[in-house]
Amino acid sequence: MKLLLVEDEELLSRSIAKGLRKRGYAVDCAYDGEEALERYGLNNYDLMILDLNLPKLDGMEVLRKIRENDPDLRVLILSARSGVCDKITGLDEGSNDYLTKPFDFAELEARIRSLLRQELRTRDVNLVCGGLRADTAARMVFWREEPVELTKKEFSILEYLMAHQERILSQEELIEHVWDSEADLFSNSFRFHISSLRKKLAAVSGSADLIVTVRGHGYRMKREGETI
Ligand code: CA
């Protein structure tokens, strides 16, 4: 997932960006409102973190300009303006969430995750990885356009892996995003599902392992042309 961080305080920007990159996100930084719109025009972001007090163009103006044409981009306002009025204005102008400074990094990250999950659920897109295509609207998987029969759980694991194919996913993260918090899950149940998913993918693709185990870290999708 690619994020645009709009924050004029350089130290804060650097520390947020560093923390997010460490968690596997791709992060671009903009330091004023105009730069934010410029970068937004050039790239496809999954989410924007937006400060309000910005040089050149105020964050609220940036949000208004984006919302003129783009109702879908997830925008999380991160601002020192803590008044109820500011929050209401921010939400009315179309931000998806509002977090007040000072904030806890873990909370920022939790809110980002939550917004990205909502996006994955609602956005009608195909996730593609080599010969695999996951239609997230129909919840169907195809190998070179041949349908692959998967259980709901197998689909959810694969969807999450494909949506995040640029990084390694720990078993904990996959469980957190694929199982609901009420689920009474033991790790062997997770292993059972992932092993069954792998067998089905191997059967249709003839490729030994489309899901790579990275020892001590977790799992990732095999890259196009990669030999293991
Ligand atoms: Ca600021």
Q: Tell me the residue type at 41.
A: G
In angstroms, what is the span from residue 77 Cα to ligand 1's centroid? 11
In angstroms, what is the span from residue 195 Cα to ligand 1's centroid? 48
The rounded distance, in Å, linking the Cα atoms of 90 and 194 is 41
pLDDT score for 182: 44
Task: Supply the DSSP symbol for 8.
Answer: S
Structure tokens at 88: 């209401």
In angstroms, what is the span from residue 115 Cα to ligand 1's centroid? 22
DSSP-based three-state secondary structure for 140: strand
Say how many Å lie between the first and final Cα of the chain, rounded: 25
pLDDT score for 40: 92
Which stretches of 72-210 are assigned E, i.e. beta strand? 74-79, 97-100, 126-129, 132-135, 140-143, 146-148
pLDDT score for 124: 47
The rounded distance, in Å, linking the Cα atoms of 200 and 189 is 17
In angstroms, what is the span from residue 63 Cα to ligand 1's centroid? 15
pLDDT score for 141: 95
What confidence tens digit (pLDDT) does each residue in 133-189 have?
A: 988 666 789 999 899 999 878 988 898 899 888 899 998 878 766 665 445 566 568
pLDDT score for 122: 47
In angstroms, what is the span from residue 23 Cα to ligand 1's centroid? 24
pLDDT tens track of the chain, all 228 residues?
678 999 999 999 999 999 887 765 778 899 999 999 999 998 777 799 999 999 999 999 999 999 999 998 999 999 998 888 888 888 888 999 999 999 999 999 889 877 876 766 545 458 889 899 988 666 789 999 899 999 878 988 898 899 888 899 998 878 766 665 445 566 568 889 999 999 999 999 988 789 999 999 999 999 877 766
In angstroms, what is the span from residue 4 Cα to ligand 1's centroid? 15
Dihedral sign for Cα atoms in the order 179, 21, 48, 42: negative
Listed residue (164, 156, 142, 143) closest to 219, CA to CA: 164
In angstroms, what is the span from residue 24 Cα to ligand 1's centroid? 25
pLDDT score for 224: 75
The rounded distance, in Å, linking the Cα atoms of 222 and 74 is 28
86, 180, 219, 220 from 111: Cα distances, Å: 19, 17, 24, 24
